[in-house]
């Protein structure tokens, strides 16, 4: 007979063994799955760590080149909203008549937390009202008096304008009302501008740009100035400051007109060798805080550069890099065969620019660009030029200027070629075979009937 009890016990034992094996298998499976999950998590965390390290490094590099590693180190941050105290009114003079009647004031204000005293000249219309404000910045080795004629011309046209001695690059021998430690270095010694042995604050450019920032804020705070319609213009080192301050002050500046001076000193300027010879850490610090090109990405203003294509001090590479770094509205002109001086149309264009951008009067400048350069079967090159002409503005001439390569930009001779109209927005010009063989550089040049001139990039 079959022992049922015994069979039952045997089956029960068998089932128990099977269950035990299943549990063990499940446990082993769970261990394997757990190990796989842990391994994948480690790989994921490693990837995240690498990505974080990459982006941190990239951000750090970007900060060093365009922004700032530590905001506390930026020597200009404490002064961006500083409105200085007027210490002395030297003189007040009324001149002109009718709508051109103006007031010219000579003052001294406190700068850089009282460390410096800065002389300035302010001019504005005598009539009541709120006027756009324009800060005018003199050239290196100059002074506020050099800009007096410009600010009075602007005042007669309905602006409140201000110029001050730019401590740090003004002439120490012709600035009797301005004072501070920066005056201990005889003019026109430029070395203190690049001196950073004791950190960023030791450069004399801190004195200059802080004076410019506070002069801008002082002008902007005047009861007869429209604080929302502010502009800056400057020449040479003053043009460097125009770019620099436009970047530092951001959307406070609505329009900026720069003559010759730019940023990216390491790419192509008279001071390139000085920058190259600085120790690595000093060079990085100087470029971070004092190179106007590194401030250019923060410019919010409508920006115009009147560049001299033969300039001894600010070369094509410097100007190009600065313009490319500006993210907002921008335009420029290359003055052919012009070396660090104004063109005959400069004052006219400066006035047209501010009238449009600060008063809403007139029309903007036209834009010109080379859209195509085609090699032809006869070995010439056909240059296609595209124009963007604002309503109400007529074209006077369209030309292409060319020059043969030279070791120095200021040694070049630029010659014109006449462009032929294809339609209202398109012109073409032919570069002859002999010039093609010489590998000439060239750019398009537009002149309108107002006398305003603009240019394309250089090819």
pLDDT in tens, the chain (459 residues): 434 344 334 444 443 444 454 544 454 554 555 555 555 555 555 444 444 443 443 333 333 333 333 445 899 999 999 999 999 999 999 999 999 999 999 999 999 999 999 999 999 999 999 999 999 999 999 999 999 999 999 999 999 999 999 999 999 999 999 999 999 987 778 989 999 988 999 999 999 999 999 999 999 999 999 999 999 999 999 999 999 999 999 999 999 999 999 999 999 999 999 999 999 999 999 999 999 999 999 999 999 999 999 999 999 999 999 999 999 999 999 999 999 999 999 999 999 999 999 999 999 999 999 999 999 999 999 999 999 999 999 999 999 999 999 999 999 999 999 999 999 999 999 999 999 999 999 999 999 999 999 999 999
**Are 291 and 393 members of one domain?**
no
**Are 297 and 407 members of one domain?**
no
Which domain covers residue 209, as residue numbers?
72-359
**Are 353 and 391 members of one domain?**
no
DSSP states along 184-220? GSPTT--GGGG--TT-GGGSHHHHHHHHHHHHHHHHH
**Are 430 and 343 members of one domain?**
no
Q: Domain containing 254 — which CATH number?
A: 3.40.50.1820
* Count: domains in the chain: 3
For residue 36, give the 3-state DSSP assignment: helix
**Are 231 and 346 members of one domain?**
yes
The CA angle 287-333-459, to the nearest 5 degrees, is 80
**Are 48 and 170 members of one domain?**
no
For residue 136, give the 3-state DSSP assignment: strand
Of 357, 317, 345, residue with least CA distance to 446: 345
Of 278, 325, 328, 280, residue with least CA distance to 301: 328
Q: Using CA atoms, how far apart are residues 247 and 241, in angstroms rounded to an integer?
A: 10
**Are 298 and 333 members of one domain?**
yes
Q: Which secondary-structure segment (H or E) carries 236?
A: none
Q: Domain containing 416 — which CATH number?
A: 2.60.40.10
Residue position matching structure tokens 């005042």? 155
DSSP state of 301: S
The tokens for 15 are 């089932």
- Domain end marker among 65, 91, 109: 65
- Crossing angle, helix 280-290 and helix 4-65, to 10 degrees? 80
Of 319, 329, 332, 304, residue with least CA distance to 234: 304
- Domain end marker among 328, 359, 390: 359
**Are 327 and 195 members of one domain?**
yes
For residue 177, give the 3-state DSSP assignment: coil
Residue position matching structure tokens 């200021």? 410
Side-chain-facing half-sphere of 390: CA atoms under 13 Å: 14
- Which residue(s) pair with 119 in the sheet? 108
**Are 312 and 422 members of one domain?**
no
**Are 44 and 97 members of one domain?**
no
The tokens for 222 are 């005047």
Angstrom CA distances, 408 to 313, 321, 413, stand at: 11, 18, 11
- Which residue(s) pair with 401 in the sheet? 416, 443
| pTM for the structure as a whole | 0.84
Secondary structure of 69-80 in the HEC alphabet? Answer: CCHHHCCCHHHC
The tokens for 381 are 């090159």
Spatial contact of 366 and 454, defined as CB atoms under 8 Å apart = yes
- Domain end marker among 22, 49, 65: 65
**Are 55 and 17 members of one domain?**
yes
Q: Show Cβ contacts of residue 290 under 8 Å, excluding neighbours closer than 6 positions.
A: 193, 200, 203, 205, 244
Q: Give the number of other CB atoms < 10 A from CB of residue 305.
A: 26
Q: Show Cβ contacts of residue 9 under 8 Å, excluding neighbours closer than 6 positions.
A: none
**Are 205 and 173 members of one domain?**
yes
């Amino acid at each position: 007979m079959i022992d049922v009890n015994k069979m039952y016990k045997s089956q029960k034992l068998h089932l128990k063994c099977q269950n035990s094996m299943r549990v063990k298998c499940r446990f082993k499976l769970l261990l394997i799955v757990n190990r796989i999950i842990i391994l994948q998590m480690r790989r994921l965390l490693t990837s995240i760590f690498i990505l974080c390290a990459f982006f941190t490094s990239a951000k750090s590099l970007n900060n060093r080149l365009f922004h700032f590693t530590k905001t506390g180190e930026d020597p200009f941050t404490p002064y961006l909203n500083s409105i200085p105290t007027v210490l002395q009114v030297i003189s007040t003079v009324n001149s002109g008549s009718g709508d051109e009647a103006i007031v010219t004031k000579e003052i001294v204000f406190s700068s850089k937390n009282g460390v410096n005293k800065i002389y300035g000249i302010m001019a504005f219309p005598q009539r009541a009202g709120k006027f756009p404000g324009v800060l005018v910045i003199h050239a290196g080795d100059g002074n506020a008096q050099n800009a007096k004629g410009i600010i009075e011309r602007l005042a007669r046209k309905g602006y409140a304008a201000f110029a001050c001695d730019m401590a740090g690059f003004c002439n120490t021998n012709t600035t009797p009302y301005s004072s501070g430690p920066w005056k201990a270095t005889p003019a026109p010694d430029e070395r203190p501008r690049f001196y950073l042995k004791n950190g960023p604050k030791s450069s004399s450019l801190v004195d200059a740009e802080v004076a410019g920032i506070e002069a801008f804020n002082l002008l902007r705070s005047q009861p007869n100035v429209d604080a929302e319609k502010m502009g800056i213009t400057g020449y040479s080192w003053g043009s460097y400051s125009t770019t620099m301050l436009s970047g530092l002050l951001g959307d406070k500046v609505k329009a900026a007109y720069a003559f010759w001076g730019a940023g990216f000193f390491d790419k192509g300027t008279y001071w390139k060798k000085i920058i190259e010879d600085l120790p690595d850490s000093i060079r990085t610090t100087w470029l971070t805080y004092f190179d106007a090109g590194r401030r250019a990405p923060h410019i919010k203003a409508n920006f115009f550069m009147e560049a001299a294509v033969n300039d001894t001090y600010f070369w094509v590479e410097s100007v190009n890099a600065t313009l490319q770094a500006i993210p907002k509205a921008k335009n420029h002109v290359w003055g052919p065969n012009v070396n660090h001086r104004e063109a005959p149309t400069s004052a006219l264009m400066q006035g047209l620019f501010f009238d449009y951008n600060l008063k809403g009067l007139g029309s903007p400048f036209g834009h010109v660009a080379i859209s195509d350069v085609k090699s032809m079967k006869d070995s010439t090159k056909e240059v296609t030029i595209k124009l963007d002409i604002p309503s109400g503005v007529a074209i006077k001439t369209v030309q292409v200027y060319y020059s043969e390569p030279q070791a120095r930009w200021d040694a070049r001779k630029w010659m014109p070629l006449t462009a032929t109209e294809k339609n209202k927005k398109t012109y073409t010009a032919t570069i002859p075979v002999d010039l093609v063989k010489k590998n000439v550089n060239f750019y398009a040049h537009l002149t309108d009937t107002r006398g305003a001139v603009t240019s394309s990039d250089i090819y």
